[in-house]
Chain A
Amino acid sequence: MNRVSDSILIRLYLLFFGFVLFSLAILGQVIRIQHVQGNFWREKAKNKIIKASVKADRGNILSDQGSILATSLIYYKVGIDAKVFKKDSFINFNDSLEVLAQNLAQHFGDEEKDAKYFREKILSGINSPKLPKVKYLYVPLITEWIDSEQLKMVTSWPIFNRGSRLSGFALDKLQKRFYPYQQLGRMTLGIVNDSFKATKGLEYAFDKELRGMDGIVLARRLAGKTLMPLEQFGQKLTVDGYDLQTTLNINMMDIVRDALKAGVEKNEAKYGVAILMETKTGHIKAIANYPEEFNYAVAQTYEPGSTFKIASAIALLEDKRVSPQDTIDTGDGSIKYFDKVITDHHRLGKVTFETAMAQSSNVAISKLVQDNYKDNPNAFIQHLERMHMLEPTGISLKGEPNPSIVRPGVKEWSGTSLPSLSYGYGIQMSPLQMLSFYNAIANDGRIVKPMLVQAIRDKSQTIRTFETEVREDKIASDETLKKVRAMLEAVVERGTAKDIRSRDFEIAGKTGTVRKFYNGKYQEEYRASFIGYFPAKNPKYTCLIMIDDPSVGEQYYGSQVAAPVFREIASNIFATDLDLNQEAFPVAGPSSLKYPVARLASAENILPIYNTLNIPAPIQPEGEWLKGSRDGNVVKLAAWNPKKEYVPDVSRMSARDAVALLESLGLKVKLFGHGRVRKQSLHPGTLIQRKNPQTIILELN
């Protein structure tokens, strides 16, 4: 054994002692950090790094054709954190700074904020004597909200393009929900509040799908609200929300809203509701409340009134208690049930059941129902149940109310309840529920679930599609349906709604007028409605109009107030729907010719044309731009002013007018083709950027 000498042993001991000493120094330093400096560090631990949630982009709501009805836009303010800024990392710092300052001045400056201003602002920040003492020094540079396109440009500029870790580039973010068509279908699309919480409509019903999943990032707090993500650490990425593809059609929404608005304004009504449904599929193509402040169409129930008579008729016909050609004696136009007298609007005398329905006789229907069901009112109620009138439609919006009805056996049920029910009093249904019932009649008895959403998509990929759900294949026999449809046609042909009869296409439907009930009694206020479908023989669309409290003189009947709105909608949809046109105009005769309507045109171009061609356009308002629509075969013109901030819809405008309009709004225009505008590259409703002129490409026919 090669024993070591004592001197080497001493060296070993000394060495080991050195190691131990150093270890003790380490422990000493740990104790020093924990105890001497402890409070300082523990205080820092509280506020230095925070977990910030990164909002996922909320999905879009799209129209049936994929146009954006609701989207999220993010706006930014830009600055730098001078504390983070690392001057050494920039090779030609002064040159880069000059280019950056010039860019800032050019795009976001004004007379005062020139390149020199921005340069000195940045320099004063990064050379600030306060720097060593502060945790951050935020230098605001772009103080207006800019959008992501502009941000992309800004981040490509020198210095900023080196990223936040070197340049101190810092953002203040604001997410906003944006509805390009503004009030169009607003209550149905829904509401998202400022903190991005959905509270109403599709936004709320499909919140889970639209919301996506927020990410989490570790960040350091800078000035104000600004958080600087610490990129070297982990982050959980956001998962953006899905898009909803609805059944809503923009053109039809436009038509329906315009017609409803005109109807409400003309009749000085409180509000109006219009719903347009594709008969076969139950797709809601348009839905409007005017004004768009509450979704009356879906979320509230009303006494339907005379439109409900069709349900009574189906019950009677199904039980073979009456046939359309049976004569009914309506007497002097009034009938008394106990203490209650029911009257007709006109005195009809002896008429067939069909005519009684076409003329909306309260006496006839109540008499028939009372005679046949007074001993067994539940048999009548059972008919309503079979027709699914006493249950919600199941539309994919939250909070659809249940229909309510006074049933036999409850305290409120009296001897007058059944006669009242027969013409739509004592029952409460939502407009959508009534529409769904009429749609079943139009759809050969098949009642379907109304649909608003046809697919959920992830960008271009479809995640889930929704098919039409059939609630019941036959709500009544074919024989009964045939008779009822003949009655509905008779209403327009020769009954209460004969004023809306059209030579071009057949409408079937039913008018309704109810007195409003509140404060415990029926008031001298009315609610007018019309529910129908068209074309009558081969229904394609079912539509409901309801106007609340029309108050122009004695004009409050469904036939006077609601039916014309229906007619306006039907006629406009006819004019734009090629399928319908082919059916309606097998041979174009002179009687079916319509005057052309300019959707939007400059007054100086369009008025001479109308005047030269003798096209009746009675009102010719003042204004640079005119918006055209058709009223019967009269062209209506209304003054129109572009909204300065948004790209207008220039579709179907003449190229000349479109260019003039867009250039007046500060856009650059490029044209392809000739004729009228078929397609525009910037979507209507897009924000126009002042500082950075965008180019819009128009495709012409």
Chain B
Amino acid sequence: MNWVLSKLKGDRVIWLVIIIISCGSLLAIYSSTSSLAFKYRDGNTEFYLVKHFALIILGLIVMYVTHLFDYRIFAKYSQILLFITLPLLAFTIFQGKEAEINSATRWITIGDQSFQPSDLAKLAIMIYLARVLTEKQEVLKDFQKGFLPILAVVLLVCAFIAPANLSTALLIFICCLIMMLVAGIDLKHIGGFVVIGLICLVLLVLIAPRAATWKSRVVDYVERWTDPNYEVNDQTAQANIAIATGGMFGKGAGNSTQRNALPHSYSDFVFAIIIEEYGLFGGALTLFFYLLLLFRVAVIVTVSKTFGALLAAGLASMLVIQALVNMGVTVGVLPVTGLPLPMMSMGGTSIIFTGIMLGIILSVSRSALENSGQDQEGAYAV
């Protein structure tokens, strides 16, 4: 045990949170894939359990390996990574309906694996931004010299992603915003950043082919809160049934009935199944662990304002925002969008990229601990 612990560098609490969420994920996925197993595997539910378990292990290995690297290496390659990502993003926009999954054209297929270049873009822009925010501390005060180039890159990436995947673009935009806030950028500049972002959004809505979908989702969302006779769509209704029948402590592990009725219960809507099986309590616990993860990262930021701290802040907010958005959609406080629940949902690329992100966060934490030279447990006492 000690040997294992000695191999795990970085914040132990973060490690613990990851392990707990992964275990929860195994339980939730095993239960919610029963309908998939029914459909494709002749009822062999273990197939998806084993597959998901293997992916989680792979994700943990990726995370472990990544956390052994010095995160500063990533800074070096961030620009190159960004330059690779942009053409890939362009490719997904123009490839039309080639790789259509859930009617959004955002996937690239290599062999029989498909991945979303936007996953890569998220990582690239975070690292890049962390680096420039750290390096150009001095010139940042100058709007034209310092801030505008950063703004341009962020908006460019978002603009490339937005037509096919608006929610990821918004997510990246918000995470960049948070990094800027944490980096101490002038509030006026940040205000400008937000305004320009909003203008771009409006332009996009006017020209993008998927605008009708967004509009209907937003209109649907507004109606839900304003129209007393509003009838929710089937997916939301099924999610609500799952939540309502879950009660305080849920139906118990594996006792979900809505998993059969709720589409994508193993990916985008896994939170509904968690509440159905573990109740409000289980849902709150899940939220708590994500917030705990964020909190531990925030502690790093309070003690240092380095490239690493900014990067960790960006990545952690990205993971946690995505988690909160996913849960918000599931329970209906946000309009429908297709973001998976990080570390929970089934899906190969999501788990691998989450692993990389967590690896980087742990790498930052590891190096912060080593630099402080203090006892690990007390390292981030607030």
Which residues of A line the B interface, CB within 8 A?
1-5, 7-9, 11-12, 15-16, 19-20, 22-23, 25-27, 29-31, 33-34, 37-38, 40-42, 44-45, 48-49, 51, 132, 218, 230, 232-236
Contact = CB atoms under 8 A, between A and B. Distances in A.
Interface stretch (B33-41, B54-62, B74-82, B352-360): B33-41
Given A19-B294, A23-B290, A26-B283, 11 more contacts: A1-B372, A4-B303, A11-B181, A15-B178, A33-B243, A41-B237, A41-B241, A45-B241, A45-B257, A132-B229, A234-B40
Contacts of B237: 41, 44, 48
Contact of B301 (A12, A30, A218): A12
Interface stretch (B12-20, B119-127, B139-147, B244-252): B244-252
B283 A232 contact: no
A168 to B, nearest CB: 14
Contact of A34 (B244, B295, B302): B244
A429 B302 CA distance: 100
Contacts of A8: 182, 184, 305
B287 interface: yes
Nearest to B178: A15
A23 B240 contact: no
B253 interface: no
Nearest to B263: A232
B36 A26 contact: no
Contacts of B275: 30
A227 to B, nearest CB: 14
6 contacts: A1-B304, A9-B302, A23-B291, A27-B280, A42-B245, A132-B229
Contact of A26 (B35, B182, B287): B287
B305 A15 contact: no
Nearest to B301: A12
B84 interface: no
Secondary structure at the A interface, as helix, strand, loop or mixed, is: helix
Contacts of A42: 241, 244-245
B244 A37 contact: yes
Contacts of B261: 48-49, 218, 230, 233
A34 B35 contact: no
A384 to B, nearest CB: 54
Contacts of B191: none
A672 to B, nearest CB: 46
A29 B258 contact: no
A34 B280 contact: yes
B333 to A, nearest CB: 5
A4 B305 contact: yes
Contacts of A30: 243, 275, 280, 283, 331
B39 A31 contact: no
B244 A19 contact: no
B298 interface: yes
B332 interface: yes
Given A29-B331, A48-B261, A236 B244 contact: no
Interface in B164-203: 178, 181-182, 184
A34 B231 contact: no
A221 to B, nearest CB: 13
B332 A234 contact: no
A5 B184 contact: yes
Nearest to B35: A234
Nearest to A232: B263
A443 to B, nearest CB: 48
B284 interface: yes
Contacts of A31: 280
A51 B275 CA distance: 23
B37 A234 contact: yes
B303 A25 contact: no
B24 interface: no
